[in-house]
A and B are shown apart, each in its own frame.
Chain A
Amino acid sequence: QSVLTQPASVSGSVGQSITISCIGTSSDVGTYNLVSWFQQHPGTAPKLIIFEGSERPSGVSPRFSGSKSGNTASLTISNLQADDDGDYYCSSYAGSSTWVFGGGTKLTVL
């Protein structure tokens, strides 16, 4: 299975908005509405922040939103806060009962 393509790093100032892209193929992101996004702080397990492309789990801030267009999924974080600093990963169902993750994006909040 191939890895989904994410930018290695993004940055933004407190209060600004940023978007992280997740580029897949017609075999994964483009076909299935099972894209999830995870936030990971150093030394901790990943935390689900978006599932099924654009749904937020209970308790996740509405500042996090997800979308998809063709083979590309996107995570937007609005009104950046210092605590948003960390690593972000996308994942997608890839068919045949397999899943694939993106390489991860390091978000730096300035």
Chain B
Amino acid sequence: QVQLVQSGADMKKPGSSVKVSCKATGGHFDTYSIHWVRQAPGQGLEWMARIIPVIDAADYAQKILGRVTLTADKSTSTAYMELRSLTYDDTAIYYCARGKNFDFWGRGTLVTVSS
């Protein structure tokens, strides 16, 4: 059974950075892309970015281009999302999801930006 296990909740100050991890188990990490989707409190889903681990290629939503970097460690089947220059508007649950159909999701990582 495929599982995406995400890192725990984090609290950051404005202007700082956060790095969230997403470890894939039970599937072939290299075969699929990993998407990152966030959900602000009481709001809808927002697509952020996607990485294809096998070729280390990433694509980003225009809105956050320049502030986010995706990486992947094929040896540990883990994807990472780093978001920089955090503002209060970045407070959200960050999800990773597998493949072009988003068929499996992690449980989410709550990132709170607070002074």
**Chain A residues at the B interface, C-beta cutoff of 8 Å:** 1, 3, 34, 36, 38, 44-48, 51-52, 57, 89, 91, 93, 96-104
Give A37 Cβ to nearest chain B Cβ, in Å.
Answer: 10
Chain B residues positioned under 8 Å from A36 (CB to CB): 101-102
How many B residues have CB within 8 A of the partner chain? 22
Per-residue 0/1 for B101-115: is the Cβ within 8 Å of any A Cβ (1 yes, 0 no)? 111111110000000
* Prevailing SS type, chain B contact patch: mixed
Chain A residues positioned under 8 Å from B46 (CB to CB): 101
Which among B50, B63, B106 is the interface contact of A45 at CB below 8 angstroms? Answer: B106
Residue of A nearest to B44 (CB): A104
**With the chains together, A48 CA to B108 CA distance in Å?**
15
Within 8 A of A (CB), among B63-115: 63, 95, 97, 100-108
Per-residue 0/1 for B23-61: is the Cβ within 8 Å of any A Cβ (1 yes, 0 no)? 000000000000101000000111100100000000101
Chain A residues positioned under 8 Å from B35 (CB to CB): 99
On whether the beta carbons of A101 and B44 are closer than 8 Å, the reply is: yes
On whether the beta carbons of A102 and B44 are closer than 8 Å, the reply is: yes
Chain B residues positioned under 8 Å from A46 (CB to CB): 37, 45, 95, 97, 102, 105
Chain B residues positioned under 8 Å from A101 (CB to CB): 37, 44-47
Subset of 21 A-B contacts with CB under 8 Å: A1-B63, A36-B102, A38-B102, A45-B105, A45-B106, A46-B37, A48-B101, A48-B105, A52-B101, A89-B44, A91-B45, A91-B47, A91-B102, A97-B50, A97-B59, A98-B47, A98-B59, A101-B45, A101-B46, A102-B44, A104-B44
